[in-house]
Structure 1
């Protein structure tokens, strides 16, 4: 990106986008739709006088996805960056406006242009898989809430079978359960329609503790194991990798996991680890050994989490299912 002469910072909101050219120091607001994107490109061409330009904006979910899809379709170079990275590179900022945010994004893009890598849009299958997994999680949470409400209502009623509220809750629970099942069927279709995804899913399913949801989430978050070079990088992404905290000779704390990470993936790996400890003899022995060494229970579970991540990357890289070596020990 160091050969580019101009960067356009874009602050994306639901209905509008604010663009700021860093070198030209001009700003303009556009609509967050196809017409607005076309006007943006024409405006940038006039403002920058045809010099090489790349675009930089924050990842704001569905709002920025439309812009990314359009730029990708026009083969225009862009960088979709984490909002936290941009925020922490901005220093102390006392004011907040869309114009100021756009200028800070442009400043970030220009300062770090030699380190930034052009972004690409995920495949249609990958995007749909992410949407379905997120929708499934939301429906499962809603269903769990309704089940809790129904359980509390039954305590105070003499006959829950005739109560109108309980009947309505049961119908809602049954309906949501059917919707979750339908989404899972569609997710399976997406996985099995792609040869590479299907193979990796079957390899991941050979691991104790890794079920349908965890395997699908691993495939999605790793970009079908193309996004991360090794399991340690993914462990850092999930927030399960321990980091040192030292300063001089007086501060030497034990290594701890950083609070920044994908909490959803970390939670799923925690549940997978507990299941693996119960059903995998190797991991159960490993977990008990860590406890015997005097390690905290959660620290031992985190060690198992990293073991599972390492195994997941190993079976995919090797291309063969996981084999429990204890079964073949002499």
Structure 2
């Protein structure tokens, strides 16, 4: 997938070509060309495409509209599936490897669909807010650095302050637009109210969870989301060596960062989480980052459980001993 075109590799059986011979084709990444291409795709076929972000969204949208199955895989699949020291790197080779991967590992493909209009709008707003926040951090850092000068230009000082005020206003407008979209959709509004009822989880993380799970339809369990974000622990052992559980470096860094921010907030303002943090760090002598990761996973389990039960968080809830229930 590229901005202006995408390469296609497929097997075609005809009188002009050998049976099962691979064929390479280039399709313009425009609406008319994609529509013509999708009409030629045999019924029941699955397109296997490299995930390249925004460049593949038009294809995904049209596949969803025209009921054509498509699965996206990460770019690392191309480099690790059949990489060799003497292998070249071309678009034709890359798309042929994607075809081979799809043929051999059909069970590992996860079909993708274009999100709803509300979720797609939230996704764009979330990206825009992230960009504005990063830009404000850069301006604020530069403003602090300028304070070290023997004397400052008042014009530069005023310009930086005005720029930060403008960015603050833009961030507030983005957040207001997010709330407006959520308020107009009953399903999103219900999920948002449940997520934010948990102490420590706010607007930004709630939107991130809704967008990345497509309102909890594609990722349905806390374990799946923890694996996606990179907070799930994995065992590392071989023979007599056992290094215990470690978190993987693979994962969505933004989702992981937001979960850690929520965990840090929860350990300060959530009474139960605070007691848990103190017990694990003071009594069990666990490191801060280790316990913080455990708290992030606890929050995920709580959110996904509440979503499944369609209930808001109750800080006064007491879990009863299941042995005391009368069995009928």
Q: Which range, TM-score by smaller chain?
A: 0.7 to 0.9
Q: Residue deviations 1:270-321, cap 9 Å, x none? A: 1111111111111111111111112122111111111111111122122222
Are the aligned partners of 2:260 and 2:293 in contact in 1 as well (CA < 8 Å)? yes
Are the aligned partners of 1:16 and 1:30 in contact in 2 as well (CA < 8 Å)? yes
- What residue ranges of structure 2 are gaps of 5+ in the alignment? 12-19, 321-328
State which of 9, 21, 29 in structure 1 corresponds to 2:10. Answer: 21
State which of 241, 252, 277 in structure 1 corresponds to 2:242. Answer: 252
What secondary structure does 2:148 align onto?
helix
Change over 3 Å in CA distance of 1:202–1:25 after alignment to 2:
same
The answer to whether the aligner puts 1:263 opposite 2:231 as a matched pair is no
Deviates further, 33-42 or 178-187: 33-42
Distance in 1 between the 2:111 and 2:2 partners? 22
Change over 3 Å in CA distance of 1:308–1:51 after alignment to 2:
closer
Partner of 1:8: none
Partner of 1:190: 181
Deviates further, 180-189 or 24-33: 24-33
What secondary structure does 1:25 align onto?
strand
Are the aligned partners of 1:239 and 1:257 in contact in 2 as well (CA < 8 Å)? yes
Are the aligned partners of 1:282 and 1:326 in contact in 2 as well (CA < 8 Å)? no
Deviates further, 148-157 or 254-263: 148-157
Change over 3 Å in CA distance of 1:51–1:288 after alignment to 2:
closer
Deviates further, 50-59 or 207-216: 50-59
1:217 Cα deviation after fit: 1.2
Change over 3 Å in CA distance of 1:325–1:105 after alignment to 2:
same
What secondary structure does 1:189 align onto?
helix
1:105 Cα deviation after fit: 0.9
1:138 Cα deviation after fit: 0.7
Normalised to the residue count of structure 2, the TM-score between the two structures is: 0.88
Normalised to the residue count of structure 1, the TM-score between the two structures is: 0.87
State which of 59, 62, 73 in structure 2 corresponds to 1:70. Answer: 62
Change over 3 Å in CA distance of 1:114–1:140 after alignment to 2:
closer
Partner of 1:56: 48
Change over 3 Å in CA distance of 1:294–1:101 after alignment to 2:
same
Partner of 1:6: none
Are the aligned partners of 2:220 and 2:304 in contact in 1 as well (CA < 8 Å)? no
State which of 114, 118, 121 in structure 2 corresponds to 1:121. Answer: 114
1:151 Cα deviation after fit: 2.1
1:153-302 map, 5 Å: 153-156=146-149, 158=151, 163-249=154-240, 251-291=241-281, 292-302=283-293
Are the aligned partners of 2:35 and 2:62 in contact in 1 as well (CA < 8 Å)? no
- What residue ranges of structure 1 are gaps of 5+ in the alignment? 1-11
